[in-house]
Structure 1
Amino acid sequence: MRRQVISLAINALALTALAFVPAQAADNAAIKEKAAVCSGCHGENGISQTENIPSLAGQPDQFLQWQLVFFRAGSRKNDQMQPIAEEITNEDVRNFGAYFSQLTPPKGEEDKDPDLSKKGAQVAVGRRCASCHTDSFAGTKAVARLAGQREEYLVKALRDYKTNQRVGGGGAAMADVAYHMSDEEITAVSHYLAYFK
């Protein structure tokens, strides 16, 4: 636990340092070309078509930057992301955050189970999800966008927070929220958010 706290503190200092470096007006074509590597997993225009891989389009800039820093530092674990994140520069982190945050986010499709969404809406209210993720669940600053995200990815993320397998910014708050959620609640709220419009 102490190692996690130290790792999070180091990551926070690194990202704070990044925030104070003025972003250069990077060549959008060059950023798009670099980001093309991401589309292999995260989908064209940052909208994932692959199970358990999140969409990046429309995620808040700062949230994306934090995740890349966590992957790069090893505090957030993923066999595919870690080697990639280890190779990216601070400038890449800033550019990827800006690039993906400006893409049109995925839109919830037609809800196939409105009754489950109704239960999920009750869970979202009861767990006060909007207090961090905003009323539109679009996220803000270092808080993730949830609206329109892949349903099975949301389930996985909540289970990972619940079992303390996922750490990183807001990790303590999310672990506390998810720890008290039943599997039924996780399923319902994930469905609700995936189809949220």
Structure 2
Amino acid sequence: MRRFFLSVFCAAAWSIASTASSPAADMEAAKKKAELCATCHGENGISQTENVPSLAGQPDQFIQWQLVFFRSGSRKSEQMQSIVEQLDNQDIRNLGAYFASLTPPKATKDDNPDLSKKGAQAANGRRCANCHTDSFAGKGAVARIAGQREEYLLKALHDYKSGARSGGGMAAMADVAYPLSEEEITALAHYLAHL
């Protein structure tokens, strides 16, 4: 019992120490940097551009990791490459905190509830909530997929299925996406976009 309390105390102390030594996000600097992002990802991180995801409300760590993957070249995007090359680690921390603080996009009215029902079944069958949480809001380094642009979700699922997308979560997402039928991909994207 004593060993248990000692390990809990050490873990808590390490957590506090690592948080204290990590530089805090500079929200003003992030807001200024995010002006570059608004061209494609929209004002306040809500995309109006086809196949470009909304960033508002994405988990802080998820944003940070994706920027690191783009910067390292392990995740490919011509549009992102020239932008992320200009970012240092503090910029990445700032942008993660900034986009996480924004209100996520509101889901649009569901024009096909039958398709959403099939999507909910597919999400349950593929255990999407295990990583993306019950509300599909994401957590930690896992993306928020609720309310995301439908055509972007389609693209992402196709990219994971084909192996075209790399970066964090690749193994888990490839495992989930590879066996999906085209009908399931369409239903999932529709369901999640309208949550």
TM-score norm. by structure 1 comes to 0.87
**Distance in 1, Cα, partners of 2:166 & 2:25:** 32
Q: CA deviation at 1:154?
A: 0.3
Contact 2:29 2:94 in 1 (8 A): no
Contact 1:107 1:147 in 2 (8 A): no
**Distance in 1, Cα, partners of 2:147 & 2:19:** 28
Kindly report which structure 2 residues correspond to 1:9-158, keeping only aligned pairs within 5 A, or say none. Answer: 22-26=22-26, 28-158=27-157
Deviations for 1:8-60, whole angstroms, at most 9, x for unmatched residues?
xxxxxxxxxx989612352x333211111100000000000000000000000
Kindly report which structure 2 residues correspond to 1:153-168, keeping only aligned pairs within 5 A, or say none. Answer: 153-168=152-167
For the pair shown, the structure with the greater C-alpha radius of gyration is: 2
Contact 2:45 2:99 in 1 (8 A): yes
Q: CA deviation at 1:87?
A: 1.1
Q: CA deviation at 1:65?
A: 0.3
Name structure 1 gaps, 5 residues minimum: 1-17
**Distance in 2, Cα, partners of 1:193 & 1:25:** 30
Q: CA deviation at 1:168?
A: 1.1
**Distance in 1, Cα, partners of 2:166 & 2:19:** 21
Matched, 1:180 2:191: no
Over the matched positions of the two proteins, sequence identity in percent amounts to 69
After superposition, the Cα gap between the structure-2 partners of 1:118 and 1:69, relative to the gap in structure 1 and judged at 3 Å, is: same
After superposition, the Cα gap between the structure-2 partners of 1:183 and 1:25, relative to the gap in structure 1 and judged at 3 Å, is: closer
Match of 1:80, SS state, is: helix
- One-letter amino acid of the counterpart of residue 48, structure 1: S
Match of 2:58, SS state, is: coil
Name structure 2 gaps, 5 residues minimum: 1-17
TM-score norm. by structure 2 comes to 0.88
Contact 1:46 1:55 in 2 (8 A): yes
Q: CA deviation at 1:156?
A: 0.2
After superposition, the Cα gap between the structure-2 partners of 1:38 and 1:25, relative to the gap in structure 1 and judged at 3 Å, is: closer
**Distance in 2, Cα, partners of 1:88 & 1:47:** 21
Match of 1:96, SS state, is: helix
Aligned residues: 178
**Distance in 1, Cα, partners of 2:25 & 2:93:** 11
